[in-house]
Amino acid sequence: MKGRLIVLDHHKGQQIAALMVDGRLDDVWFDTEAPRPGTIYRAIADRPVKGMGGMFVKTPDGPGFLRHAKGLSPGQPILVQLTSYAEPGKALPLTQKILFKSRFAIVTPDAPGLNISRSIRDEEQRETLMAIAHSEMGKSDMGLILRSCCVTADSSAIAEDINAMADLATQILAEQTGVAETLLEGDGPHALAWREWSEPAEIETSSGGLEQHAVLDALEALQSPCVTITQAGHVYIEATRALVAVDVNTGPDTSPAAGLKANLAAAKDLPRQLRLRGLGGQIVLDPAPMAKKDRRQFETALRNAFRTCQVDTNLVGWTTLGHFELQRQRARPLLQIDLS
């Protein structure tokens, strides 16, 4: 099937949202037992970490760690937001810079000012959107970012979204005092699909959609660390406690260009593989053998592949052993769906 298809369904009581692009699984959201990123807590400051400028805090979901915590005293209530999934056995990663994010608008209480996505370049469209922003937020001390999908949205829908996020922010910011409490839970899979997959697509909401569109088959294939690259070789993607190892191998092609061909194909698909598997942190790529003069072409292919990836990824560079390192935000949970 050509085009984009969004499948919203449940599997064994678990909410799942899948994005298919030209018949191939491109993205997936699912729920876990871990707290959802975006969750807002009223936390209680616990103890500072000397030398790191951070502080451990108490939340209803366990201990959290707050970076750049200044001017806080133990026992003080503070509003914080969960930024990503915690590593096993570690504290929840938190921030004081709270965002209220929806499909069209992001309200930023700590960053005043009205802003429009830089991907919107048409000056007339920017002026129209800025007029809407001023109309809805002109008297507010909070900031606003209008997202790129506002280009094709109706003005009334944008205004409604701005007002909803501004009202929610006002409500949450009024909850400054009290015991540790969850004030707002992060968005679930179906809400995330509506919020993040804003490009035009068909939407399937009927029961059994995951089986009908082979989403479960694609998820089952992801259980294997081996990824076949058509006519170019295969890649092994394996997570250890310390890092994620990506090993690129050539196929039956033994020509001098085989290594570069496999590496370029692997680079193109790597963001999708990491996204679907929920892998982040330190990532080490072991490319197939290629000439040093080809490293720049491989690095360019990597940068182009990650340019449109919504998960923050830093391409660190080459090591003396010839590996390539990346640092990636843990924005997704590890793939954990019971397919038995």
Q: Is 181 a domain residue?
A: no
Of 59-63, 76-80, 227-231, least confident by mean pLDDT is 227-231
For residue 49, being part of any structural domain is answered with yes
* Amino acid 120: pLDDT: 93
Least confident of 130-144, 170-184, 229-243: 229-243
26 and 105 fall within a common domain: no
- Check residue 252 and give its pLDDT: 82
In this predicted structure, the answer to whether residue 292 has a pLDDT above a threshold of 80 is: yes
In whole angstroms, how far apart are CA 264 and each of 100, 122, 249, 268?
38, 34, 12, 6
Residue 339 in domain: no
Q: Is residue 338 part of a domain?
A: no
With pLDDT > 90 as the criterion, what percentage of the chain qualifies? 82
245 and 320 housed in the same domain: yes
Whether 229 and 202 map to the same domain: the answer is no
pTM of the model: 0.90
Residue 338: what pLDDT? 82
Domain that holds residue 265: 222-328
Do both 315 and 238 map to the same domain? yes
Q: Is the pLDDT of residue 51 over 80?
A: no
Tell me the pLDDT tens digit for each residue of 69-92. Answer: 888 889 999 999 999 998 888 899
* pLDDT: which is higher, 269 or 88: 269
Q: Looking at this protein, which amino acid is placed at residue 326?
A: L
pLDDT value, residue 232: 75
**How many domains are contained in the chain?**
4
Q: How many residues does the chain have?
A: 340
d(CA 292, CA 316): 17
- Yes or no: say if 38 and 244 are a contact pair by the CB < 8 Å rule: no
Whether 311 is in a domain gets the answer yes
Segment 253-261 shows an average pLDDT of: 87
Q: pLDDT band at 310, cuts 50/70/90?
A: confident
* Residue 241 reports pLDDT greater than 90: no
Residue 340 vs residue 257, higher pLDDT: 257
Per DSSP, what are the bridge partners of residue 62? 59
Q: Is residue 132 helix, strand or coil? A: helix
302 and 205 both lie in a single domain: no
Kindly state whether residues 227 and 322 are assigned to the same domain: yes
Claim to verify: residue 93 and residue 105 sit in the same structural domain: no
pLDDT in tens, 110-132: 999 999 999 999 999 999 999 99
